[in-house]
Amino acid sequence: MPAPEPPADLLLVASGRHERLWEVLGAHPRPSGGTGFAVWAPHAEAVSVVGDWNGWTAGVDRLRLEPGAGVFLGEVPSAELGHRYKYAVTGATGETSLRADPVAQAQEAGDGRASVVWASTHGWGDAAWMARRATVDPVADRLSAYEVHLGSWRRRADGGLLGYRDLAPRLADHVERLGFTHVELLPVAEHPYDPSWGYQVTGYFAPTSRFGNPDDFRFLVDHLHQRGIGVIVDWVPAHFPRDGWALARFDGTPLYEHTDPQRAEHPDWGTLEFDLTKPAVRGFLVANALYWLGELHVDGLRVDAVASMLYLDYSRGPGEWSPNERGGNEDLDAVSFLQELNAAVHRHVPGALTVAEESTAWDGVTREVERGGLGFTNKWNLGWMHDTLGYWSTPPPERPARHAGLTFGLAYAFAEHFVLPLSHDEVVHLKRPLLGKMPGATDAERFDHLRALYAWMWAHPGKQLLFMGAELAEEREWSQDRELAWERLDEPLPAGVHHLLAELNRAQAEHPALHRGDGTPAGFEWLEVDSADTCTLAFLRRDPGPAGDVVCVANLSDDAVAGHRVGVPAAGPWRLLLSSAEERFGGPLGPDSRRTWEAEPVPCGGQDRSIVIDLPARSVSYLVAGSR
């Protein structure tokens, strides 16, 4: 007599097509008492549940195997809400190891690494936000993200960590004052090693217990939403750590990782790579993405290390990799997985963002899957970051030779839907904080350059991302072991930087030309591009709406320029919207300086009209039509 067919839900688990995996796997407390457990371990000989209720004794609460699905499951009457537990997994060799639940929605605080039987009781209050989220246009809408590592943003007076609930109003107040649209959190899935900053995940479905329980995390997201602030989280599908209590050789075999030694280990981090040839592994990751976006109301995923997934020879030398079936270096399994991921996200969670940290020139990262692309909504523009910081860190007398660093990016600015990142990666490992990269003989000059950098970035096509501390003009490299230097806001020059960023975000919100045309060449036009020797540049951000166009003018030399002619697209008066050199931000341009100019019928920069203005040294200015 043939074995009975496994339940349909479990067949979907094995085939990688259960997109709500957390509903069938993991621990599920029953209303009448007890808890149901289910875990995918197809090569295990036996699995039992150990925990607080049975003295952590293996073999007492055994789970039964559904052979066609590779899932062990069963009811444990004594396991209750809040109990800690692990699976005692016996492999084919007879060796038993204690394992955290891959689909646990909570994990204990501290070093025990046990999973926790959990059920959310959070009542969401962000219905209005969630309704608006479904209408987001990731190309035209504003995205100005404040990147945050929760453990080192703010701390208690004794140096201890603040919890999610304590962080929520403080973070919302700060982000609201600065005018950012989103916070982007470094990974907040459970991870054992603080210096990994969360990038070595062991609990993919569990918000880290460092800051509270899963409902405390929901409170943080909910509070930010009710304050009008979106939440993006870093998400890590490229690799996972080797910890013997987590995913590595979970059922006694390489289950989540590759069996091929050329593809099993990530050469840069000593971690293991997910085997994306296995449908169940792909399904685990897709379901995890949908969990964060759906159950936890997160608005976007910044997908880490995409380039390392796309290339078989990433950080591997000759003889350390094998070509794909077409003879190329592309990882075709990773390509199809990323397409599957993005298709599922956009199908189930309208308006959700998926942002690729992809450092190469891979074609079509943000092109729709139906058109052969990977399907991300946005991509980090790491070329822009490298070239721009290279230019800004160069002393002005040497900048003419690096002029192309500012102009080349516009040759490809509309090939993808880009985010311009000045991220955590740029202010650690002896790279110096952003202020430390700025040239100058005095603090005033260095701060001039820093303010000009931010004003250039906010005017440039693309969305903005800035790592915490940049708004304080931090002088120290970032460390995960201490909070930001908030006392900097008591000093005039850092306070001016803080004020400038708030005004840049306000200008961007009030003038759609600074964001609505990010995805199209029609939204940008050079007005002055070839003046390398004088370090002056000008461009136009176009928008047909009532707020009109914005002209951006930069003088990135150490010398003020008098009587500089700039093309403008319309007759009538033009006024200064803001300048990084204004006195209110810490620059020399006082409130009595000239702020309006009348357009003259003199062609310049491809325009029929122009104005003549004085450009402060080390400055970027925005001009708009009208006299008010």
* Segment 219-230 mean pLDDT: 98
Candidates 173, 287, 187, 282; CA nearest to 233 is 187
79-100: pLDDT as tens digits? 999 999 999 999 988 999 999 9
Q: Where are the beta strands (DSSP E) in 84-240?
A: 84-90, 96-99, 115-116, 144-148, 182-185, 189-190, 203-207, 230-235
Give me the pLDDT at residue 324, please.
95
Give me the pLDDT at residue 110, please.
80
Whichever domain contains 554, its CATH number is: 2.60.40.1180
135-181: pLDDT as tens digits? 999 999 999 999 999 999 999 999 999 999 999 999 999 999 999 99
* Segment 455-484 mean pLDDT: 97
Give me the pLDDT at residue 364, please.
98
Q: Which of 190, 215, 304, 426 is catalytic?
A: 304
Give me the pLDDT at residue 14, please.
87
Q: What is the number of structural domains in the chain?
A: 2
Round to whole Å and give the CA distance between 572 and 100: 68
* % residues pLDDT > 70 (the chain): 99
In this prediction, residue 204 has a pLDDT band, given cuts at 50, 70 and 90, of very high
Give me the pLDDT at residue 10, please.
87
In this prediction, residue 111 has a pLDDT band, given cuts at 50, 70 and 90, of confident
Give me the pLDDT at residue 516, please.
96
Q: Is 299 a catalytic residue?
A: no
Round to whole Å and give the CA distance between 250 and 233: 26
Q: Is 357 a catalytic residue?
A: yes
Instruction: Determine the 3-state secondary structure of 453 from DSSP.
Output: helix
Rounded to 10 degrees, the C-alpha dihedral 14/17/19/20 comes to -40
The b/e string for 576-609 (b: 16+ C-beta within 10 A; e otherwise) is bbbbbbbeebbbebeeeeebebebeeeebbebeb
* Segment 222-250 mean pLDDT: 97
Q: Which of 89, 116, 143 is the last residue of a domain?
A: 116
For the cut 80, the answer to whether the pLDDT of residue 5 exceeds it is no
* Segment 342-355 mean pLDDT: 98
CB under 8 A, 24+ apart: contacts of 31-34: 33/77, 33/80, 34/75, 34/76, 34/77, 34/78, 34/79, 34/80
In this prediction, residue 4 has a pLDDT band, given cuts at 50, 70 and 90, of low
Whether 564 is in a domain gets the answer yes
Whether 618 is in a domain gets the answer yes
Round to whole Å and give the CA distance between 336 and 342: 10
Round to whole Å and give the CA distance between 314 and 265: 11
Give me the pLDDT at residue 2, please.
46
Backbone phi, psi, residue 151, to 5°: -75, -15
Whether 476 is in a domain gets the answer no
Give me the pLDDT at residue 1, please.
37
Q: Which of 357, 448, 525, 558 is catalytic?
A: 357
Whether 237 is in a domain gets the answer no
Question: Which range is least confidently modeled, 8-12, 112-116, 285-289, 455-459?
Answer: 8-12
475-502: pLDDT as tens digits? 999 999 999 999 999 999 999 999 999 9
CB atoms within 10 A of CB 55: 8
Burial of 456 (0-12, 13-18, 19+ CB in 10 A): buried
* % residues pLDDT > 90 (the chain): 93
Question: Which range is least confidently modeled, 155-169, 257-271, 506-520?
Answer: 257-271
C-alpha separations of 117 from 208, 315, 354 in Å: 15, 40, 30
Whichever domain contains 65, its CATH number is: 2.60.40.10
Residue 37 · residue 29 · CB < 8 Å: no
Whether 196 is in a domain gets the answer no
Whether 540 is in a domain gets the answer yes
Q: Crossing angle for the helix pair 443-459 and 492-510, nearest 10 degrees?
A: 10
Give me the pLDDT at residue 6, please.
63
Q: Write out the two tokens for 218.
A: 């929901």
Structural domain including 33 reads 8-116
Round to whole Å and give the CA distance between 520 and 374: 19
Round to whole Å and give the CA distance between 473 and 22: 43
Q: Which of 86, 116, 146 is the last residue of a domain?
A: 116
Q: How far apart are the first and last CA of the chain?
A: 86
Whether 606 is in a domain gets the answer yes
Q: Which of 82, 116, 150 is the last residue of a domain?
A: 116
Chain mean pLDDT for the chain: 96
Whether 29 is in a domain gets the answer yes
Residue 225 · residue 219 · CB < 8 Å: no
Residues written for the chain: 628
